[in-house]
Structure 1
């Protein structure tokens, strides 16, 4: 993130006056301050042991770096929240930064939740599955995992070793015969009582022991149990235990690093190059590697590594509990204060350590190598994308390098389940957190692509800041790329003119003859339709943008269609749940068949008594 330009002396004086006014009521206690712009937007969030002393430092304008001078110049007011301790202020500061995303703070763009393994406790046959988001009551959790792939791999291995069910409670209660997972020895089939409650409870206890790190004792117990079964000539049972041990062994051997000397810890390594920063995080739980992720925080070019690491740690653990140890390759700024704040967050002591020898140091070095390689890949990709964007600016006569390109596409089947999508790209590649889906609300004639695109444009650009209707929003694009021909181009241009949207280049990309890739036609205002050379790298880049929008539109449409297929009119009938719905559809074949059935025919269905039959009949025949 960069802040170009110098602070204007006039606005600098206005900002300084606003800070002086705020100082009249700011206390000396610890807390968090927010610097606000003209429209109330948060420019910067900071914490301080003494708020008055810290805020006063912004009035020493000649001693401030240019970035902070510009921030002061944009400041129109301040807000203060006091805290009991500086550690509490540090946690509150991180929370505000993550929620408000102030432009002058170091920002961690991490809007994804992390998957956990969840074991339900409130059922006689507990379910094991993955879960994201808000914790469920009466459940035990293990994690977090760095990705869905990591948690799925672990779940598959746990199923192979401990045979716990992964199906939902409704599926469990409705099955009449074992599913495929039982056939391939991934489940003990409690749905049809192939395992007793006591035996299943023992499997649950073993699973908890393993996930809690007691793997050595558990494996030895399984070996002894297998030997006893073999001596008793219970060879089938011995073979089943043998298969569980094999799955158990493969679980212990899997993973890139499974350091025996590390129980529960996160490994955080920072690497800087060319003014950019990468932080690589490895999740180690019970000496097992739960995967890793790379993060690229936004910060000013002159921000120090220690300050970036402090901001990262506080924002990263804002919505998740920190482990007892965090192993680092360098010290954060205010090390003891960060440790105190994270301990306060966890409710128990959290150590921040920089290992100097042994296996722990090797693990940190491994994470550091991953951080360096991830940053080098990102820089190489950015350099390549920068060249392509320069080519895009040249082809479409743009004023400068486009910082944000939005590509639009629609997907539907004869007007049904219609969606429009927006894909965003820029110097850092595709920005997936900025993608948007537009469920077409209509009224739109089935198959009217122009009408769908018009609705999408109105919803994208129709909202303006009422206090500054003529000001260009920061998230508006430099280039609109529309998947379509001259008709789509004219439709989009007409909508933007009606909305008084200016300064955005519009280009439509249409497939060539026989829809061959490489022979696309481009439509742009003030130009005759044109094509690019078949081997032009800019053409390949524009095709990638168009194809990504098409992919996103198709997957969005399919998801919406699948959701609609799973629901039916029967879901609205009082007293009809999953089991009765399935029984009715099995008996009559469709909702139409249920609608045409008499009360006597409805009563003949398993689980449907005369009272429920009358409710169903009345629902479809209210007269």
Structure 2
């Protein structure tokens, strides 16, 4: 953070006076500016064609809404970055907003990467699989799909229609006979040679053509093959082709919308009301509807629809593939600049359009209807949620309604595979993107020491919070912390929070009733006797839901960790056995148990296994 300028008398400049002073040193060039608050937190990130001309407007006080005027009053310092062009400034602004989450910017919340389908090309028999994240695997990617369900349905169809393998390479290499997927006609079984690799490659190309929108051509070829098989009285092959054609035809029946004039486009529709907004997004690829999702960006009542749409689109495509066409119901602010930035980023021309007629307009109108209905449901839920949070505030004597509640729970079996879980809830319900798991690392804990585990979890969580606050890294403090347990758990939590200097956060212990009966929970607050809420109180039901969600998350995390431990292969523990030698050993002996029964002489016959390594493996299994 920059040093705060001071006036002639030594008084630090703040607000409009500080901004006016900064303008004297600003260039007439494109760039990005950041407005910082008292503790170094970022209040706002903006971009400008001319930093000097844009920033001076804040000091002049003209055209300000009350919200912007408040932002200016809170400003204690500013930072600036000049860029080569305004387009570069826009791209940098988008990146900083997503990274820093400034208080006064329109903010896309709960954003995450979408699932895709990848045809992996690193193996002679290409693998079909679901993928999420960066494109680090060599292969062809298709997407995005709006949800895991949408991509799973398509994968299911592709397996039925093209019989492509989905197994891992290690499973593929260790097969000696076809698996169950082949038995139920979902895989051609290239692993055991039931289909030649050239014929399998032809199936892969057909699947790729289908995903690229050539479904009619693919189905036409398959129909011709089916007819030829029938003419040659190969009725079994004809029946298999018929089933594959039906699988492809089912895709059209499952899609709610099947555009004929849109091959690749994303459709966005915005509906804003009462200081809240919903953006509904539909994905169309290869002439198919690949699902939709509703977003609820953080906005202000004073924000214009065009500004919301522009900010949303910029942040949405910061880390996602950009289609050729983006259809909208509201023309975004600075549309031409946004299209230029998308074109520069994707390496091909990108069009942003608000259709006026025809099928494209119908798609946008359908998305708008979904956005309006989704926002209506959201506002109804928010009203009920607000009443519950007001009840929590009253029950625990908080200064105001909690915006962020963190709930902690631990899970283990006799101290093994111990994990801690943190869930987050607030005015908009459960915030699952904020959930965190903590693998218990301390070796000094007695197995099953719940107090010790809670101390470790809270120390790690709030030590990180303190560090982020010191670095001005956009740390988010909870307003209320709930810990699963009674006086002991509460005492452990308060001890840690006091040590870290965050004892101004409200902490409550939630103890289960006798025989773990719901409705008989007791609540523990510092300096007060334990108390209970009315058995049928909506606030009590809400707190039970929070506790149960934390318990569910901790249990699920524990089970996942335990399952991973159970699946560990003993060969992974032997020095000198890497992925290649492990694969060769499993292929030679069928399993780790087979390797354990082999003699050192037999082990040496495996490619890549030397005499010292064979003796090491042999000795490992006979400890």
Please give the TM-score of this superposition, normalised by the length of structure 1: 0.91
* Structure 1 residue 152: Cα displacement: 0.8
Label 1:124 to 1:249 Cα distance change in 2 as closer, same or farther (>3 A): same
Query: Once the two structures are superposed, what CA deviation does each residue of 1:166-224 show, in whole Å capped at 9, x if it has no partner?
Result: 11222211111111111111110000011112211211111111111111122111111
* Structure 2 match to 1:6: none
Give the distance between the partners of 2:480 and 2:468, measured in 1 at CA: 26
Residues 1:161 and 2:165 aligned together:
no
Change (3 A) 1:492 1:78: closer
Comparing 554-563 and 35-44, the one that deviates more: 35-44
CA change 1:62–1:362 in 2 (3 A) is closer
Distance in 2 (CA, whole Å) between partners of 1:606 and 1:462 is: 50
Q: How far is the alpha carbon of 1:101 from its aligned partner?
A: 1.6
Give the match for residue 530 of structure 1: 531
- Distance in 2, Cα, partners of 1:488 & 1:197: 61
**Distance in 1, Cα, partners of 2:517 & 2:82:** 64
Aligned to 1:206, the other structure's residue is in SS state helix
In 2 relative to 1, CA 563–29 (structure 1 residues): closer, same or farther, beyond 3 Å?
Answer: same
The 3-state SS of whatever aligns with 1:337 is helix
Closer, same or farther: CA 247–302 of 1 in aligned 2, 3 Å: same
Shift of 1:553: 0.2
Which residue number in structure 2 is paired with residue 427 of structure 1?
427
Q: Deviations over 1:400-427 (max 9, x none)?
A: 2122221111000111111111111111
Note if contact 1:483-1:509 (Cα within 8 Å) is conserved in structure 2: yes
| 2:75 is equivalent to residue 75 of structure 1 | yes
Q: Deviations over 1:413-442 (max 9, x none)?
A: 111111111111111111122222111111
Report the equivalent of 2:386. 386
Inter-partner Cα distance in structure 1 for 2:466 and 2:506? 22
Deviation at 1:121, TM superposition (A): 2.5
* Secondary structure, aligned partner of 1:318: coil
**Alpha-carbon spacing, 1:402–1:110, altered in 2? closer, same or farther (3 Å):** closer
Is 1:413 paired with 2:413?
Answer: yes
Structure 1 residue 222 and structure 2 residue 219: aligned? no
- The CA deviation string for residues 63-92 of structure 1, in whole angstroms up to 9 with x for no partner, is 533323333334344333333332332222
| Change beyond 3 A, Cα 1:109–1:319 | same
Give 1:34's aligned residue. 34
Partner of 1:484: 485
Which moves more between the two structures, 577-586 or 51-60? 577-586
TM-score (norm 2): 0.91
- Count of matched residue pairs: 609
Secondary structure of 2:481's match?
strand
Match of 2:549 in 1: 548
Q: Which secondary structure state, in structure 2, belongs to the residue aligned with residue 462 of structure 1?
A: helix
After superposition, the Cα gap between the structure-2 partners of 1:463 and 1:349, relative to the gap in structure 1 and judged at 3 Å, is closer
1:325-372 C-alpha deviation (Å, 9 max, x unpaired):
111112111222222222222222222222222222221111111111
CA deviations on 1:493-541 (whole Å, 9 max, x unpaired) are 3333344433333222222222221222222234333322322111111
Alignment correspondent of 2:7: none
- Does the residue aligned with 1:528 lie in a helix, a strand or coil? coil
SS where residue 318 of structure 2 aligns? helix
- SS of the counterpart of 1:319? coil
RMSD: 2.8
1:461 aligns with 2:462: yes
Counterpart CA distance in 2 for 1:276 and 1:491 is 40
Moved more, 380-389 or 121-130: 121-130
In structure 2, the CA distance between the partners of 1:607 and 1:425, relative to structure 1 (3 Å rule), is same
Show the counterpart of 2:297: 297
Matched with 1:323 is 323
C-alpha separation in 2, matches of 1:316 and 1:467: 25
